[in-house]
Amino acid sequence: MAFPKLTPLQSRLAASLTALILLIIIYMSMYPRNFAQAAELDSHLDHNHHRIHEPRDISDDDLLRESEVLEELVGSAWDKTKDEDKYLSYEPEFALGLAKELIGRADTTSTTADTTLEGNTPATTTVTAGKTQTFKFANESVWGNYSQYMPTLPTIASREIKEEVLEGELRKRDPSPVAKDAEERAEWDEEELMQPTRRQTSNSRIVFVSMNVCNGPDVNGTTTAAAPQLTMYVSTSKSNTSPGPDSDGEQAVQPCSGGFASITVNATSDIYISVHAPQLPDGYSGNWDYEVAASIDAPYHAYNDREPTDAFTFFVDSDTTSALLVTDNLTTTEVGSDDYLAWMKAVDPFHIYTFRSNNTNIAGLEKSFCALKNAEALAPTALVTGMITTGLGNKPKQQFFVEGLNGSTAYESFPVMQGNSTASGAGVVGGGGQVWPMVNYTTKSDDNCQIIYNLTFCDQVSYAVPSNPQRYPNVSALRDLYDNYAVEMWQNFNYTLQQTACNTTTTAQYSLAKNCTDCSKAYKNWLCAVSIPRCEDFSAADKWLQPRNVASPFINGTTIAQTPFADNVKEYNSTLRNRLYANSSRNSLIDTLVQPGPYKELLPCDDLCYSLVQSCPATMSFACPLRGKGLEQSYGTRDGNNLGHLTCSYLGAIFYVNAAGSLWGGAVVVRSVVFAALVTGWMVWV
């Protein structure tokens, strides 16, 4: 059969159609028949299905190959766009049907958890005696995003790198390499505590579980013992979803101490938390109110345990109605540094709660922020606080002036930080607050000692001074009386110092080691210490205290002979009454204007004397009294073995920080005629 003859146009069309058909046949032969669109797939056709739902043994090499494949398919799991210095970690995002269970497999079994916790959000509840309550911190919270939290306050300086003493005097210097290393380690440790987001492995996360007991059972009868403590249990195993005293499964156990408990675990999935209340013994009734929280960022609640020799807050002094306390130096950095300025600009970063020592509302709850806060609301005390640089080291610290106290009463003051100092409560990292060890002290019993602080000239004076509330009911007037008197005496000294060649060449100065600035500093420290004596109760029995005004009546009109202890103290005899140093005050202004009656003085440290003699020109003829010939009646001596006691007075002195040796320089006997009138009646008794 002959093919019809085609026209030129028909020939070209036929050739094009033939070529197109051949291309289609070739393409179809190369395309795999098992290819399909994603929308056409049923779940049983997902080739990753077995990876998610079927347990299997995976070798390290298999994991490495899978991670390399995932890296190519979905990119790095780490969010490289985030700044690691902001303490952000990664939140994995998976594709192709892969889920987060590849890193932390979710527990699909049922749970008896009463409450599911959210990160940094406490659950507040009540538990009755003998009961156990269970909580769950779910897998999605364990592997959730870290909070974008950075502390706004600098690291609190560690004790090892605090103020230094050279011949007892604090001085500035660049830290040695060892000190620098210690400071860096301290800052690193603090950073790791506040920002633990870096501390995790590739397949687990660190989770912080903490609790505070806010109220405990009531005491019935006369018992004063604290109620039994709650116990916290934490399980990371799905085979133990109800941890507690009756569970045989693997679990961490932490009984509360002072109403506080904390457990840190490495978690890969759900965490199960239980709180168990013991049976109550006779003499108690009621329930426990508490809050429990979990966080991947930092502990929601915190208690900063410290040794007594490494205390965070110190008792300075008291009178019958108030007490003065101060924190340790918060930084060792120099004036004007970022840390120094940040602390000084801080608005009351710390708080202090004060209670009588026998307060049953906080018995057994001394480490719980919410318990202290609740108890303080029942018996509040007035508080004046602020940042200062006076005192040891002249570094930033916070001062607390507690008012509304009673005389001859033992108190406990608890330094705390509400939240993280800038924010508190649910959703805040560290929002549950921090507590430091309490400070114990007893207020004075006599009304003739009054705390003064924040003086203008003698700015280092912060302690109780001889007083008379009948003549000076306003503490501001008493403070100005002492400060103005010191200013007047200082001016006389300054006139004399101006006659010394201070602004001259080094070789022409009176000393190669000291200059006029050193002399001025030493004299001011001495002047304020001796013209504003530190007052103690007349009934105080410490042997280093010097009795004053023994022949004068007390403010209430009674005399020493009428006091209960008069017959037992042989020193209050007629011989002592006739001695000037015992029958008058160091400063005649005290006897003429204040008229405090009998009291005891904590004598200025004798090293104040030696510092002044060493610092000022010999032409001023400063000299110290000899031991056995007047020194003991005018000046005390530091005793580093009496921890917790001040054996002599120096500016910035606080209890528990009383090192032997010179700190500031001392009180002196002045021989020159120029200074004779200045010191008559209050500088020295021989």
**pLDDT of 120 over the 50 cut:** yes
Each residue's pLDDT tens digit, 4-54: 555 665 666 667 777 777 767 665 655 444 433 333 333 333 333 333 333
Stronger pLDDT, 223 or 355, i.e. the higher one = 355
Read off the pLDDT band of 578 (50, 70, 90).
low
Each residue's pLDDT tens digit, 266-298: 999 999 999 999 999 988 999 999 999 999 999
Could you tell me which of 190, 192, 181 has the C-alpha nearest to residue 157?
190
Question: Which residue type sits at 443?
Answer: T
Each residue's pLDDT tens digit, 405-429: 999 999 999 999 999 888 889 999 9
Q: How far apart are CA 463 and CA 455, in angstroms?
A: 11
Q: How far apart are CA 167 and CA 513, in angstroms?
A: 14
277 and 130 in contact (C-beta within 8 Å)?
Answer: yes
Each residue's pLDDT tens digit, 92-117: 333 323 233 323 333 333 334 579 99
**pLDDT of 68 over the 60 cut:** no
pLDDT score recorded for residue 686: 26
Question: Which residue type sits at 629?
Answer: K
262 and 273 in contact (C-beta within 8 Å)?
Answer: no
Per the prediction, the chain carries an average pLDDT of 76
pLDDT score recorded for residue 193: 43
DSSP secondary structure of 172-221: --PPPHHHHHHHHHHHHHHHHHH-GGG-EETTEEEEEEEEEEEE-PEE-S
In the predicted model, what is the mean pLDDT of residues 184-194? 42
Q: Which two tokens stand for residue 479?
A: 């403070």
- Please provide the distance, in angstroms rounded to a whole number, between the alpha carbons at the two ends of the chain: 153
**pLDDT of 55 over the 90 cut:** no
Other beta carbons less than 10 A from residue 395's beta carbon: 25
Could you tell me which of 371, 351, 336 has the C-alpha nearest to residue 415?
351
For residues 497, 500, 501 and 506, what is the CA-based torsion angle, rounded to 10 degrees? -80
179 and 187 in contact (C-beta within 8 Å)?
Answer: no
Stronger pLDDT, 658 or 328, i.e. the higher one = 328
Each residue's pLDDT tens digit, 580-602: 778 889 888 999 999 999 999 99
Stronger pLDDT, 342 or 54, i.e. the higher one = 342
Report all structural domains of the chain as residue ranges with CATH numbers, in order of start: 115-151+195-300 (2.60.120.380), 308-443 (2.60.40), 452-502+510-679 (no CATH)
